Every structure is written in structure tokens, then in C-alpha cells.
Chain A
Amino acid sequence: MNNHEEKISSIGRSLLNRRGFMKNAGFSTGALGLAQLLSKDGLFGSDDPTSFTGKSPIRPNLDPDNPYTTRDPHFETEAKQVLIIFCPGAVSHVDTFDYKPDLTKYHGQKPPGMPAVTFEGPSGNIAKPFWDFKPRGKSGKMVSELVPNLGALADDFCFVHSLHTQTSAHPQGENFLNTGFTMEGFPSFGSWATYALGSENEELPAFVAINDPRGPARSGKNNFGNGFLPAAFQGTDFNAKNPPANLARPASYTSADDRSTVSLLQRLNGFHLEKYPGDADLAARIASYELAGKMQTSIPDVMDISKEPASIKKEYGLESGTDLKKEYAKNCILARRLLEKGVRVVQLFNGSDPSGGNGITNWDSHSNIDKTHAMQAEIMDQPTAALISDMKRRGLLKNTLVVWCTEFGRMPFLQGNGTGRDHNPDAFTCFFAGAGVKKGYSYGESDNFGFKSVKGKSSVYDFNATILHLMGLDHERLSYYHNGLERRLTNVHGHVIKQVLA
């Protein structure tokens, strides 16, 4: 930063001093504009007409010259960071974590009371799990052979078996899980969390989306977009293979070119700033260039996993299996490295869009589920389990919440084709691990077939409310004014699933 101060005039320098700035300017014209205006008009407070719940909204107090400064949660909590492992395509709960002996008992029979037509068309007969279930760990949790490595960690996990969603279409399901709305254009969980809490490490993006090596999921950027929140809170997408767009110095420039550009830019901006004493937006933009410069070294550093010990590489599965698995394993290592550096939200994708056909690019196994789910699990199981074990060893789980999730479940019966399971919006399983949640615990139940959630029914709103709660945020109060409403991640719904809290 020092170089910068030399080149900026004294007025410019004092303006860059954040404290001086707030004193001079009070508020800026930026993000605080409306909030200030609303507060002036008495729209803040418990009688706020835009609040549905009677609870007053909490709009984070954004520092005008730096939207990323660390902000306090609404209440004290263990989880400071969150890792979301999202498996697009819908993982079959009845073939992984939700053990249903009745499926074996009634295998091959017509399902009583179940629909003749589901998402893809006519339904077939009940099918037993394609993999055997075994008790795992001290808890004896039944987990299938499809995911043996994750199964081995069952004592650390907190399962929710009673989730249900609003849609049986993938993109809407992804949107709903990740943004709280089935429709497009709403802020993602990660953008809400960074909007609320800011960053712990300004040299890295506060919210990183690590896309699957095969590409983005079906809802694409909407899964990690900022919606109507300021663009400052969008997820920055990069993975172990591809850095963020435009991070690197262009090939046609030398590092001396870059230094000269930056130094001239600082001088020009310094002269310009002198004409506008007290204008926060100008100083904020100067600061953003500084931060960009830091990211040009910090991001390549964090992406460089070459110096990770051989044992780690082996544990994550970098040395065995398919190329896809190896690529995903690298992404898992990257996720850990980002969390170690204090990145607030890391969203790790295991699956992409379906252009490669059923069950090839993600978990959407409409046909040959025995092969397609096996192929997905081969990629996901070992690296993901290694990531969670590694985090545990390093003590990262103390302050990091891990969320493993998928957009809905799959049917206990087969499709008309007799080899795949169709979408099941009425029951699916996700699990938590780490900061703030119970260990070796299972909450809620689906019915004997895993067809419908019955005990402790939990909506996606409840699920998201719980994640926010674990991050120290009240889902009913964290809000942003957009087009007539104090918008929330959970819309006007959601109850924290208190039973999962440690």
C-alpha cells in the first residue's frame, strides 16, 4: 500500500484513511444511500412495514469504501465459515444414507399408493437399494457401500432425512436449494452470507464457487450469483484448473508494464480525488484496484497445490481412479486451502449440467442407476471424505460448518424403463458436519419406502434457515430491500431445525 501513499497527494492520502473518511463524509452515495433514506423516513425499526415477521430487518452496516470488511453475526456462534458440497442431479437417498429395508422386502412389486406418472413419465416397480447397507462407526449408522469413505465418517455427521422440496425439475430445485426461490435471479446463500458477514481475508474473494471439472451445474451462475444484491457479493468462480477470468496479467504485457499502469493510474486518480474531497466512492474504487493487485498473487498461491505432501494427495485420491476423480480431488484440496485462508463461503460442486446424458455429467440417474450412480460416487466419495477428515485433523471443523447437499431425492421405485429412478421432491437426505452441529446424529424420517418425508418434515426453507442460524444469522432478520420488499433467503418461511444444533 506504501507505494501508493507516496504517489497520492496529501489530501488524497487522508481521504484514503477510512476513519477520516467516515468522519468527513458520514455516509456515502453508495450502498448505504437507500438505507439511510429509509432510516431517515422512520422505516427502520420494529414497525418497519416491510417486515413480515414483526422482527425488524437487519441490513448489514456496509462500510462504503469496503464492502468486504468483517461484520459481526447477529449472535455468537462457532461457525465462522461454511463449506457447501453440492451434488447436482439428485443423489438417491435410498441408495446412500437413508436405509429402507422395506424396499428389499417389496422388491419388484407395484408400489401401493404411489403415482402412476412422475417427472419423466410412467413409473415402474419398487426396487431394493442397488448397494448393500452396513452399520458404520460407533453410531452404527446404516450407510450403503456406494459411499464407503463417507460412511466411515458417519460418526461425525448429522443427517437430515426428512427434507422435501417444491419442485421436481433440476434447475428450479437447484435454485430453490441455493437461493431459496425456484425462480431465477435471487441472491445465493453465499452472497447472503458474505453480504451479512463480510470477509475474513480481503486478499481472497469472500465467496468462492468451485465448479465441477466438467463445468457449471444446470442453474449455472444462478447457484452462486448475487441476484439483486450488489455485485460485490457474487461468488467468484474458479477451480483447481481454471483461475478466475482476467486474473492474470495479459500475455502481451510485462510486469514492468503492469507496474507502470498501476503507478500512472494511482497518480491520475490522486489528482482527480483532490477535486472531490469527501467522496467515498472514488476512494473505494482506488482501494479496489489495490485489492485486485493482491489477488493476483494470493489466488495463484492458493491454487498451487503442487507443494501439498504426497500423503495428502494420495488421501484425496489424486493418484488413483479416473481423471475426473483426480480433478475433483484437486478441487477438494483447493477448498481446504481456501478455508484455511479464511474464505467465508466455499461452494464445491460435484456434478455439472446434463449435456453428456443421463447420469454421466451429474447424479441424474434416470437409467442404469447401478452404473451411473457408481460412476458419480467413484468421483465424489473418497475426495470428499478426505477433505472432511483433513479439515477435522487440522481443526478446521471447529469454526467451519460443512453442508453436503443435493436438490432432491430419487424414487423408491423404478421408471418405466426399469433401470433408473425418477426425481423425488418429497423426501431426500442431506448432512451437516463440523461447527455447531451434533455428531453421529440423524434427524427426521422418510416413510418406510423413502417416498415421503414423514417425521420432522423439513422444507428447504428450514434447511437454509438452519445454515444461516449456524452462521450466527437470524434468517428472519437478514434482509435486503428490493422492489417493495425486505427480501430474505427464506422468503417468508422457514424454521431453524433446532434438533441438529450441538
Chain B
Amino acid sequence: MSFKNFATVFSLIVFSQGFSFAKVKFEDDILPLLEDYCIDCHGPDKSKSGFRVDRRVHLLKGGDSGLSAVIPAKPDKSYMIEVINSDDPEIGMPPKGGKLFDDEVELLEQWIAEGAMWPGQMEDKIEEGTDHWAFQSVDRPTIPKKSKNPIDYFINRRLKEEGIPANKKTDPLSLIRRAYVVLTGLPPQPSRVADFLCDYTKNPEQAYTILVDELLASTHFGERWAQHWLDVIRWAETNGSESNLYRKLAWVYRDYVIRVFNQDIPYDEFVRQQLAGDGMGTGEALGFLVAGPHVPAATVGQEPSAIRQARADRMDEIMQTVGASMLGVTMSCARCHNHKFDPISIQDYYSMTAVFQDIEFGSRFPEFSKEHPRKTKANEFWQDIAKNRNKIRKKTTTWEEDWGGYKEVHWKPIEVVGLRLNFWSGYVGLDEVEIFGLPTENINLAIASNGTKVKTDLVFAQQGDRFPVTRVIDGKYGTQRWQASYNKEKKQNPWLEFTFERPVKVGRLRMSSNREYYYETDYLEQKNKFNFDKFLVNVKLVDGTWQEIASIQDIRDLMKREKTIGDVIGEINHLAYKLSEEGPRPSFVGSFIKPKVTRVLHRGSPENPRDIVPPAAPKILSGELGVDNKASGRARRAEFAEWMVDAKNPLTARVMANRIWQHVFGAGLVVTGGDFGRAGAPPSHPELLDWIAAEFSNPSRPEGTPWSMKELIRIFVTSDAFTRSNQPSDEGLQKDATSSLLWRFPPRRVEAEVIRDGILLASGKLNRKMGGRSYRIHNVKKTYAQWEVLNNFGPETWRRMIYQERMRRVDDQIFTAFDFPDCGQVRAKRPVSTTPLQALNLMNSAFVVDQAKHLAKRATDESNTNLKASVIRAFELIFSRKPMNEELKVSLQIAKDRGLEIVCRALINSNEFAFLP
């Protein structure tokens, strides 16, 4: 990989074909055809589909489809020939009027076969490249030595140019509220405000510096800033789509992001971990790649083309995530044709999908480093399990364990060439059967890829080939399973027989009906149902004789007879459960599959694969990664991550620095934070953007840490621009109504989370427990049913809203109305709307009614039940300030007439509470 030529011109070199004996004459035979049939739409005037025929190089390059219209000497590979021969009205050319005559097509084919000779243009080269600002390297502008905070140098210079006077510093009360909300998402407590105001009168600068340090060190900082990142990648805990199933343990990724922000893991490391953390001991970080929605296999249907389409759609979700969050390029636009606005080709798109070919939406055991607390915990459990098994072995050689997702049957290891299962139940449904050897060995001997065969009677191949028996050894869990019922004619229950390729020692087996459900989802009715019960295990010995080795009936009889065995097995089952709760366990942070060779999908259709492409990042950004289609998935992703954070990549630092700016100042310097392409907005302050990007990735401050997000945020919030008053001024509004030039701190309505968390903080009910399972507001549902909000206000929900379970496209009945994202599409910036439904929710929801009560009680408790003092206290708790005389007068009157609770309800609904000062 090299960055030698970032954003420089690269050339498509045209090799001249040498002068062979040409039968087709360009001017006489070919040019008239191009002029008759093509040039009206594909010429200098119109160039439909980005395609022109007026120069040879245009033919070689082709149009938006990304395919060369003409490949000299290869008429069968030339797209032009394909479209003029096509009957498909969507593709066929010319689109109107008659097709070309056969002899005309032949002429074109022959012309191409002879090298597509075009006199005078054989040496022409097409120049590709871009002058778009975002693809040029970051150029750190020089700043005057004396600038205290370089941000202000750029901002003030621009204001001066525009003739807009900057506002004065804001008052200390607004300042502490602003800093608190921006940095932690919570308003300050009255006591901290009092201290700050006191310190501020003595030494404003010092007081503010201390405040900022404190807030950046607060664990609430990570909770606030993680949400911004989760917004962009539309992270949620359900799949979306029909069944909208819960993604079990997906929240380990949410906790990871909070940890990254709190520990100030440098952004380059954050990028590496999210792309290739499976090799870095932070496997849960790959939750990033599967943050978007997907349609699970069960609801795609049985048609092979639909299954291929669904996979392509999932890859596109990954493209959207990576493109919008890290790269600031709308990669998806190049899925069906070359990007319309940016120098991203369809080959670039599919090359980038090749990087992620080993990723699938699903669960796996995240790779944790040795010292991970879940790892150490798991070791304890495993030791206990081994002890208990040894206890059993003293009494019997066969027993059965329940691991929640599967049943595991043990017996004394024995060398065999086959194994047979005879089910006692009349109906059997299995997604997988796994067979293992010695207790220490974890190789699945049953899997088909090891050469094992499985068979059953034809009568158990139910409904034709809808439930093929090979599914039990295909290594895939889930609804794609084998099922069979009692056969009346043969009077037989279902059975399975496995034949191993060579003699193997077998000692236990695992069986499940839908292990995917257990591993990947939760909160479903009837989730862990086993569609099998008792069975016999027989083995075929090397000499060809059969021997019964385990009977579930006998095992259960024994457990009934010998209570101690039953107890020990119960203990193992309990340990299995604890292991699954506290140890490393399958989490919805992506699963791995064997990467397939990646091809360009012509017009975005999986039914139309074309040329093979290697794993790579976009060409225009020097995206060669030095890996090919033989490389492992991890190697591809690791190389891609290094490319992403390479100092010469012009986008990575700009995009993240801009994003951080956006969350501090309300809008980015580039307001379209997920799109730095030509369709996005240009930066309001180009030099400033480059300065913060450079300072972020490569700090000029001697003590600076490269890629430190906290340090960048500190630079922003200690600027004059941040600490300015937000008062409107006529001049400012006239010249810059959106305040994007920062003559004032732009006022904005706070996000849903800030309102909710702020209410809980004020009422004193906020539970500050960090991380772990999300608090639930929904029901336990049937697979194909909608989530319903059951309780969105009770004590168990009094945590910060980032811990509310994030169900895609489910209205939480209060805060969705506040532009809380539905997590369907990437959301670089939330829109802000004002609607009557917000008003109704904040006036009448059980949450607010309940909290108004708690707030009133707290205010009363903290003011010795003196009503006037209680009113004052309520103001302090909500606004961080005392009421003005007039406010106090009207509020006190209402408190007397209708109770303090009503005053609290009004305070919660007020504009002052909803807007950032």
C-alpha cells in the first residue's frame, strides 16, 4: 500500500495496437454508426449515463456502469456489443427505434477485434483525478505565534471579514450548563453550580479549566459521546425487518464505545479495533460492522436469488457504516454504477466489499485478551464444571447436560466408524448435531467438511427437499434445519446415521433445534424449545458391529434413582447458565464466514457477477492494500484499517475532527458530516478544518497525544467561540442567521437523551449504573410480532437513556417524537423538529407525571417543607438557578393553589430546560 499519489492524476494508458492489416475503416464504417445511433445521447452535449462516444478514450473508459464499452481485441468483453445485442429494454441500445442491423453489429465487432483503430487518437490518454477539496491532502495552515487558541484565530478572522461583531463571553451560569450538557449530556447539580460561580468570581479562567478537566474525566463523558457515534452507524439491538429480533449481547459493543471515549483510546486505535479488533483482543469492537439493520435468513424466503440479494444488501449495510462514519464518503452510491458525484467507481465499491467478505450478521464469541474480566471469570466456571463432571464419572459413564442452546450427552470415549441416533419422539427438528472425541478435544467430528456423511430413511426427507438431512452437519445454526415426523406406514420414528471418513474416537455429542436463536436473540416466547426429547445412541465399531452406547431414557431413570447424580447435573446446568451470563459468550457483534471471491455485480445485481476484484480501498485514495483474494478476512480488514488511519489519508482525520466539532458547536464546519463528497456541503472554514484535522492526527502541542479525542474536545470548549453568549443580535442575524460563523454560540434544542436524563437527575432518581444489559421497556414477544412498550417510566428505567434497549423502528412513546433516530439509516446529524406530539408526551406521559412528583418531593425534602423555599429549590434543580422575582411570584401562587408538582411539570416542559444556553 502506498500513498505516493494521493489525489493526484492517474492515467489510463492506452496501448497502441501496431498497424495490422485492418479491414474495417473507422471513418467509413464505424463513425457513421456512432453518429447515427449513439451520439445524440452519448456525445459532448448530453453524455447520458456518463458515457460518450466522441473519443476513443471515452469508449475505452465506458460510462457509469463501470464497464469498458470497448476493450480492443475483445468484442465479447466489450459492453457496447453487449448492449446493442440485448433484448432487455432496461439495457438494450439504442433505446428507441430499431436495433442495429446484423451487418452493422458485425462491423463493430470486427472493428473492436482489430484493435478499435481510431486514426489520430491511438495515443490519447484519459486523465482521471479529482480537484475536489476533500480528496486533497490535509494542509496545516500556519497560524500566528501569539494565538492563544488557534480556533479563535480562524473564527475571528472570518467574522472580521464578514463584518459581524462577535458576542461577549457568556455568563458563568450559562457557561457551566453549556459545558456540562455538551460534555456529559447532563445538566450540573446546584451544589456544583454554586462552587463554580464562587470560583469564577475569583479566577474565571482557572475555574473553567478545572471544570473542563473534571467533565472530561467524568464517566458520563463517555456515555454522552458514545451516543453520537452510535447515531452515525444507526446501532441498535434489533435486526429491524419483519421479526425485528433482539440481538443478544449486542450491547457489549455499546459498552466498548463508552469505554473508548472514557479512556480516551486514540481515534486511530478506535478505528483499527472496530475494523480488525478480532486480532487485537477487542473482538467486541467488530459490533461496528454489523451495527446496521439486516433481514435474517428465516424471512428472506427460499428463492436462491433472494438469498443472494439479501447477502448483497447486508454487505451494503457494512459499506454504508464504514463510508458514513470513518470515510465521509457515500460508498453505496457506487453499488450499481460509478458514483455520480465522486471519483468512486463501481470497482471501488466491490473492492471495498471484498475487504469485509468474511463478516456476516450474527453472533460469535468475541476475542478477548487474557486479562479480560469475562475471561478470568469463565476459567473459574470451567474448573467447577470439570470438578462436577468428575463427580459424575465415579457413578456413571453416560449423562446429559442442558446448555440452554443445546443438549450435550457424554459417554466413555470409544473408537468407531459410524454413529446412529434413534429418536423416541414422533417429531424431530434439528439444526445441527456435533460429535466430539475426548473431553479435552473440541473438534467437531460430525461436520460435513471433515468428510462425515449423514443419512436417514427417505420417508424422513419431509416435503421433498425442503428440509434436507445434510443440514444437521452443515455447520450452520438456525432455522435452516432438518425436520421429520413419525412415519405411519413404516411405523418408524425418525433416525439419523453418521458415517465417518476414518475411525474416530467419539465421547460426546451436542444437539440443538435452533442454536442460532439461543446465541443470537433473546426475549422471545418459546425461545429455547428443543424439538427432540429422548433418543438412543448406537455406534458402529471398527469391526462393523453395532453397540448401544447411551440411552437418554436410562440416564433419566438413573437421575431419578440416584438423586446425587441429578443434583450434580443440575449444578452443571446452572454453571452453564452462569457461564453464559458472565463469561465470554456469543454476542451479536458479527460472525465470520469463509470469504468468497468478490466480483463486481453489474448494475448492482447479484445475478450478474462480472470481473473479479481484489480487496482494496478506493483507487482515488491510493487504496491498494497489498492483499489479494487469498488473504484471510482479518488480514484484509487489518490492512484496510492501516490504510484508513494512514497519515496521508485526507479524509479520516477531517471527518472525525469535523464530527467532534459538530457535537460541540451544533453543526459541523462541513454541515454534511457523513458526506465530504461533491454532493456534500463545502467547509465553512476550510483552513480551520485542516488545522483541526492536522492537530488531531499529528498535534503540534508538545504534550499532545496523536488522535486524542478528549484533547481535541478540550481545544474546542476552551475557545472564545465556545464560551460566547448566545444572545441574538440584529447584525449577526441579518448576516448569518444560522450563526454558523459563530459570532454567537448557536442555541439549540437539546437531544431526547438530555431531556430525559436531565429530568431524572433533577428528580434525584437517576441511577448511575454504567453498562451491562439494557433496561427494558418492551414485552417478551412471539417471533413474528411487534415489540410493544410495556413500561417506559418505572424505577428499573431510571438509568441514562443510552442504556435503554434500542429497538429499531419502535416508537418508545415519548422520545421518538424528539427526533430520536429509528436506527434505520445512518444519521450523521439528527434533524430537530418541533411538534405538538412532543408537547403531549412531555405534558402527559406517565414518565413525566411520575418524575414531576419525585421532583416536587425532592424539592420539598431539601427545603424543610417551606413552600417558597421548595419552589426556589425546584428552579435550582431544573434550571441550575434561582427564580427571578416575577417567576417566583407566579410559581408560588400555582404551588399554593395546585401543588408544587404542577410547578415541576411546567418547569420540565419549559423552553429554558429544553434549550442549550
Contact = CB atoms under 8 A, between A and B. Distances in A.
Contact of B738 (A29, A216, A485): A29
B836 A261 contact: no
A296 B836 CA distance: 10
A250 B851 CA distance: 13
A46 interface: no
Contact of B301 (A34, A168, A485): A168
Contact of A228 (B734, B825, B844, B910): B825
B463 A227 contact: no
Q: Which of B738, B783, B814, B849 counts the most chain A CB atoms within 10 A? A: B738
Contact of A185 (B727, B825, B897, B914): B825
A502 interface: no
A295 to B, nearest CB: 6
Contacts of B185: none
Given A185-B293, A221-B810, A227-B822, A33 B667 contact: yes
Contacts of B786: 215-216, 220, 353
A296 B841 CA distance: 12
B822 A29 contact: no
Given A25-B737, A27-B738, A250-B849, A222 B843 contact: no
Contact of B897 (A172, A260, A272, A486): A260
Contacts of B846: 250
B383 interface: no
B825 A169 contact: no
Interface string A200-223: 000001000000000110111110
A291 B740 CA distance: 30
Interface string B780-802: 00111110000000000000000
B: interface residue count bin: 35 or more
Given A269-B911, A483-B672, A169 B809 contact: no
A278 interface: yes
B825 A482 contact: yes
Given A184-B241, A222-B809, A244-B837, 16 more contacts: A31-B832, A67-B835, A117-B303, A119-B301, A119-B302, A172-B295, A182-B313, A183-B825, A221-B811, A246-B840, A260-B902, A265-B906, A279-B728, A289-B836, A423-B301, A485-B330
Given A183-B824, A252-B849, A269-B911, A29 B747 contact: yes
Interface in A275-289: 275-279, 281-282, 284-289
A269 B464 CA distance: 70
Interface of B: 234, 240-242, 244, 293, 295, 299-304, 306, 313, 324, 330, 333, 340-341, 463-466, 667, 671-672, 674-675, 677-682, 684, 726-728, 730, 733-734, 737-740, 746-749, 782-786, 808-811, 813-814, 816-819, 822-828, 831-841, 843-846, 849, 884, 886-887, 890-891, 894, 897-899, 902-903, 905-907, 909-912, 914-915
A7 to B, nearest CB: 9
Nearest to A275: B727
Contact of A248 (B304, B783, B844, B911): B844
Given A121-B463, A264-B902, A485 B785 contact: no
13 contacts: A29-B738, A49-B341, A117-B302, A120-B302, A169-B301, A169-B306, A184-B825, A220-B809, A245-B811, A250-B849, A285-B914, A288-B838, A355-B782
A355 B784 CA distance: 5
A429 B439 CA distance: 61
B242 A26 contact: no
Contact of B834 (A27, A279, A288): A288
The 7 tightest CB contacts between A and B, nearest first, are A185-B824, A484-B675, A230-B833, A484-B330, A292-B839, A184-B824, A185-B825
B359 to A, nearest CB: 18
B817 A231 contact: yes
B737 A485 contact: no
B887 A267 contact: yes
A351 interface: no
Nearest to A26: B737
A28 interface: yes
Interface stretch (A35-43, A130-138, A314-322, A394-402): A35-43
A483 to B, nearest CB: 5
B825 A67 contact: no
Interface in A210-264: 215-216, 218-222, 225, 227-234, 236, 244-250, 252-253, 256-257, 260-261, 263-264
A300 to B, nearest CB: 13
B902 A261 contact: yes
B871 to A, nearest CB: 11
A271 B293 contact: no
Contacts of A288: 834-836, 838-839
B302 A261 contact: no
Contacts of A285: 749, 834, 911, 914
B833 A231 contact: yes
B306 A168 contact: yes
A494 interface: no
A456 interface: no
Contacts of B899: 257
A188 B733 CA distance: 35
